[in-house]
Amino acid sequence: MKIAIAQINPVIGDFNHNFDKIKYYAEEAIALSCDLVIFSELTVSGYPPRDLLEKEDFVDTNIAYLSNLVSSINGIGVICGFVDKNPDDEGNWLFNSAVLFENGKVLHKINKRLLPTYDVFDERRYFEPGIEVVSFPYKGRRIGLTICEDVWNDKEAIKKRIYHLDPVSLMIEDGADLIVNISASPFHVGKREFRWDMLGSIAKKYDVPLVFANQAGGNDSVLFDGISAAFNREGKMAARAKDFKEDLVVFDLKRTEPDEQNLHAVAGSDTESILKALIMGTHDYVTKCGFKKVVIGLSGGIDSTLTAYIAVSALGKENVSAVFMPSQYTSKDNYEDTEKLSKNLGIKLETIPIDGMFKEFLKYISPSFKESDPGVTEQNIQARIRGTILMAMSNREGSILLSTGNKSELAVGYCTLYGDMNGGLAVISDVPKTAVYDLARFINTEKEYIPSRIITKAPSAELKPGQTDQDDLPAYDILDSILKGYIEDFKGADELVKMGFARDLVEDVISRVDRNEYKRHQAAPGLKVTSKAFGYGRRYPLAQRYTPK
């Protein structure tokens, strides 16, 4: 059997778009003489549809479009995901389902058995778990069809299993000699290799080929890297789709060795993967929300610089405008670096000084202001003036404002509500400051897009004379290590101290993280690239008094 893996970027609720994509790639697979084409989880509706699933019309429309696909595609078997209704009087009223159809007939249908309810997943909120765990015959094979999480409970691969059922092992017992997994498996740094190892080891353990069809594209904060793949009976990768792009690859079960033509190139490092993810996520969020253009506030610092580069890469320089808003505290270097960056990227730059506006504010709000030592109030006024200007530009141009804060700042509250936190998308809000520098250096390996001085100079908000971030924060390499331990690895203060960090520093960082939960609750949505991002995958109470130990 010759199998095509069609890796597409669906748009949630755009059933015409998704229908056309499925039909197009099915025809591509037919042209390649394939017997079967496999699409990702909930392909018809797009994943994750979240509370759209509570709308009966949404579910009915997805079922109607599946019916149209069944009658429209002939000459090849098709496996794809959709939302089905649960006919029983008890349990959730929907199933996360997959179907195999061919030449106008539905040959097999299964419902997802393992429903994740951690991090960004909340599937038990909507779906009822499937009951049947059976294989089915197709073209001389017995296919064990699984949906995403159904393969993530292998006792050798998963140290702490959260489900009692392993659908793959049960399908093997039922005679399956080909495992198919349709997925919407999100990206985060480090997951790619684990996923490859897990899927390859399952294929090798059961001595069967395994096909993994993953979604590509960004939907809200969640980014899907694709990298759909097929593994032969020895557990070797035999085919692989591109990362962060739509693609189609072919897996011929008759071949005993990997097919080099169908092993498509992917990022060579975590840094490159993050950059690709952010570019894809920015493009998809902006365009799927109905925008074409973005506006960015440039400061001469590395965060806004990286955000501008990502925006240009995602949307094209003609769709990116920048605003530079200097004050009396802005250095000459930042004037020069901002100008050079805008020329390097080919973007429109508008300069709007804020000194006059700042002085008018101070007359009424802070009459005791001392120019030589502005306090937090005065510093925040400057940030909020800039935020107001940027939102005005966004309104004027019909563009979406990209905020530029990184994860380190957002974690400890080193940001201003209704100021630099303004925006419709926080592009690098899940990128620690140290990784921001890594990305900038990686970008410049090909060409100096980013002026070198932006990378080497000390970071500063420039809200008072001679200010640097390290006046208020630990060195970023130390801060980021503590933040990773606390936020992503769930370590307490005692564990972090045992790692070699000073207790007073650890307790100060933890306190800052906890007391700024209310700020993050009001932040723009960000693009998730780490194992634990701020947003709906991290749910902490705003009003609480727990002190981590």
Q: Enumerate the active-site residues.
A: 41, 112, 148
Q: Report yes or no: 136 and 179 within 8 Å, Cβ to Cβ.
A: no
For residue 343, what are the contacts with CB-CB under 8 A and spacing of at least 6?
none
For residue 473, what are the contacts with CB-CB under 8 A and spacing of at least 6?
408, 412, 414, 479
Q: Report yes or no: 259 and 238 within 8 Å, Cβ to Cβ.
A: yes
Q: Report yes or no: 266 and 240 within 8 Å, Cβ to Cβ.
A: yes
What tokens does 91 get? Answer: 């349990």
For residue 417, what are the contacts with CB-CB under 8 A and spacing of at least 6?
519, 522
What size, in residues, is the chain?
549
Nearest to 430 by CA among 518, 543, 306: 306
The secondary structure of 346-388 as a DSSP string is: T-EEEE---HHHHHHHHHHH-TT--TTS--HHHHHHHHHHHHH
Nearest to 466 by CA among 379, 372, 538, 533: 372
Torsion over CA: 397, 322, 187, 118 (sign): negative
**Helix, strand or coil for residue 458?**
coil
CA terminus-to-terminus distance, the chain: 57
Q: Report CA-CA distances (Å) from 292 to 31, 46, 246.
A: 34, 21, 21
DSSP-derived letter for residue 407 is H
Q: How far apart are CA 222 and CA 87, in angstroms?
A: 31
Q: Cα 71 from chain centroid?
A: 34
What tokens does 96 get? Answer: 């996360």
Q: Report yes or no: 38 and 25 within 8 Å, Cβ to Cβ.
A: no
What tokens does 116 get? Answer: 């994740």
Nearest to 391 by CA among 358, 370, 361, 421: 421
- Using CB atoms within 10 A of its CB, is residue 360 exposed (0-12), middle (13-18) or buried (19+)? exposed
For residue 151, what are the contacts with CB-CB under 8 A and spacing of at least 6?
167, 168, 179, 181, 198, 199, 202, 212
What tokens does 239 get? Answer: 């085919």
* Strand 400-403 versus strand 294-298 pairing type: parallel
DSSP-derived letter for residue 487 is I
How far is it between the farthest Cα atoms of the chain? 84
What tokens does 111 get? Answer: 């419902």
Q: Report yes or no: 281 and 262 within 8 Å, Cβ to Cβ.
A: no
**Helix, strand or coil for residue 325?**
coil
